[in-house]
């Protein structure tokens, strides 16, 4: 099985289907982390320039920068992992396939944990900002 072809066929084995689905999922994770990279750059710019005086909280920018660093680390790990998956076609036994599947599950947990922490941080930021905008309207 080649990881480039993610089309699922009737003759694919369950393991082939799993690898193909995992490849599509990994591509989505990578694209999402690239989007988060852009979003974090915007949030950092807004927090450190436009809202700096209104927020009165430098920790927001610091936390976004930390999350930006964590995002880059995970993105680079997933890109490296994606490149290593080209060797899936060389698997000749179940143990080899299971190694890739287990590794994928580990990356899935890391991605979901990162995403959850990022969403919480972003929600916290918007809750603070929303309160500041309400004060400006009154």
Residue 135 forms part of a structural domain: no
Residue 110 forms part of a structural domain: yes
Domain count for the chain, please give it.
1
Residue 95 forms part of a structural domain: yes
Residue 24 forms part of a structural domain: yes
**What is the residue range of 113's domain?**
14-128
pLDDT at 3: 41
Low pLDDT (below 50) residues in the chain: 1-3, 135-138
pLDDT at 32: 98
pLDDT at 10: 86
Contacts of 102 (CB under 8 A, 6+ apart): none
Residue 101 forms part of a structural domain: yes
Instruction: Say if residues 91 and 97 touch (Cβ distance below 8 Å).
Output: yes
Distance CA 107, CA 100 (A): 11
Residue 138 forms part of a structural domain: no
Distance CA 46, CA 48 (A): 6
User: DSSP labels for 70-125?
Assistant: HHHHHHHHHHHHHHHGGGGGG--SHHHHHHHHHHHHHHHHHHHHHHHHHHHHHHHH
Residue 7 forms part of a structural domain: no
């Amino acid at each position: 099985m080649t990881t480039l072809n993610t089309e699922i066929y009737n003759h694919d084995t369950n393991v082939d289907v799993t690898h193909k689905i995992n490849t599509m999922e990994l591509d989505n994770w990578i694209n999402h982390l690239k989007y988060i990279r852009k979003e974090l750059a915007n949030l950092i710019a807004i927090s450190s320039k436009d809202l700096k005086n209104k927020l009165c909280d430098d920790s927001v920018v610091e936390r976004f920068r930390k999350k930006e660093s964590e995002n880059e680390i995970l993105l680079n790990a997933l890109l490296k992992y994606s490149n290593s998956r080209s060797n899936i076609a060389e698997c000749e036994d179940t143990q080899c396939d299971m190694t890739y599947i287990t590794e994928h599950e580990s990356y899935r947990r890391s991605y979901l944990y990162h995403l959850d922490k990022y969403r919480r941080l972003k929600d916290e930021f918007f809750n603070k900002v929303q309160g500041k905008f309400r004060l400006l309207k009154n």
